[in-house]
Amino acid sequence: MADFDVNSFEQLCINFANEKLHDHFNRHIFKLEQMEYEKESIGWKHMTCPDNQLCLDLISAKPHGIFSLLNDQSSFPQATDRSFLEKCHHFHQNHEHYDRPRVPAQEFSIRHCAGKVSYKVGTL
């Protein structure tokens, strides 16, 4: 993960793409190959790989994923950066990959597979 002073919408999209690639790689290289080894009775040491579906859902699931909330807020003339952030906090406050800052700030953080990244609202 990139470690910038301010992470914008573009960085969120890049990090989401990285999450998708990570998921694809794990599924196709580890999970499916191990199923094939098992099917063919090939001996191997079973490997577990982290499942990042919760993080992917946090960002992209409908109707309350971050992308969906941002899209919805973009449709309302009265919406603000603050109202978007409040919706994110409301819907994801108990999500294991979502962090709300301890001190009031215009940001939220996501714990991606490669580490925690804070996103500044207003640059999204």
> What predicted TM-score, i.e. pTM, was given to this entire model?
0.85
The conformation of residue 96, written as its DSSP 8-state character, comes to T
- pLDDT per residue over 16-54, tens digit each? 999 999 999 888 888 888 888 889 998 888 777 788 999
Rounded Cα gap, residues 56 and 112, in angstroms: 9
Rounded Cα gap, residues 100 and 107, in angstroms: 7
Q: Which of 22, 33, 11, 43 is nearest to 119 (CA)?
A: 11
- pLDDT per residue over 86-99, tens digit each? 999 999 999 999 99
Tokens found for residue 100: 């709300």
Give backbone dihedrals phi and psi of 111, rounded to 5 degrees, phi first: -90, 95
Tokens found for residue 26: 């794990």
In this structure, the number of other CB atoms found within 10 A of the CB of residue 66 comes to: 23
Amino acid at 77: P
Fold for the domain defined by 9-120: Methane Monooxygenase Hydroxylase; Chain G, domain 1 (1.20.58)
